[in-house]
């Protein structure tokens, strides 16, 4: 599948996460691009976090409403993936969800 939408921060794409090992999230699933555009524009890889419909009260997960359903961005499963793993564009998060992700990342890494 050809990707026409630019890969930019906080957009959601289908990403192939296989092969996975152990407790890593697997299969092709929606992922939020986490890496900043300065990286996305110059590297063949991006950092992305998968979306999951499993609702767990984990501090590293951010609740979102996307594509007509509630889910969570699993920031505890950030992966660096080659852009060849990225397929169809799905959409973008709301500003409040983006801010929640930024806050959670800052808490995780400070």
* Secondary structure letter of residue 27 according to DSSP: S
Which pLDDT does position 1 carry in this prediction? 46
Which pLDDT does position 24 carry in this prediction? 82
- Parse the chain into domains and list their residue ranges: 11-109
Determine the average pLDDT of the residues in 51-58.
Answer: 91
Q: Span 11-109: which CATH code?
A: 2.30.30.110
What confidence tens digit (pLDDT) does each residue in 28-51 have?
999 999 999 999 999 999 999 999
Name the region of 80 (left: φ>0; alpha: ψ -120 to 50; beta: rest).
beta
| Band of residue 109 on the pLDDT scale cut at 50, 70, 90 | very high
pTM for the whole structure: 0.91
**What contacts 79, CB < 8 A, 6 or more positions away?**
17, 24, 31, 47, 48, 49, 50
Answer yes or no: is pLDDT of 2 > 80.
no
């Amino acid at each position: 599948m050809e990707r026409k939408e630019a890969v930019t921060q906080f957009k959601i794409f289908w990403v192939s996460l296989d092969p996975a090992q152990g407790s890593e999230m697997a299969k092709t699933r929606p992922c939020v691009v986490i890496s900043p555009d300065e990286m996305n524009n110059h590297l063949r890889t991006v950092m992305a976090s998968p979306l999951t419909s499993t609702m767990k009260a984990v501090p590293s997960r951010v609740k979102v409403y996307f594509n007509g359903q509630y889910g969570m961005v699993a920031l505890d499963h950030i992966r660096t993936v080659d852009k060849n793993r990225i397929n169809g564009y799905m959409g973008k998060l709301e500003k409040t969800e983006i801010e929640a992700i930024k806050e959670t990342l800052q808490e995780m890494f400070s």
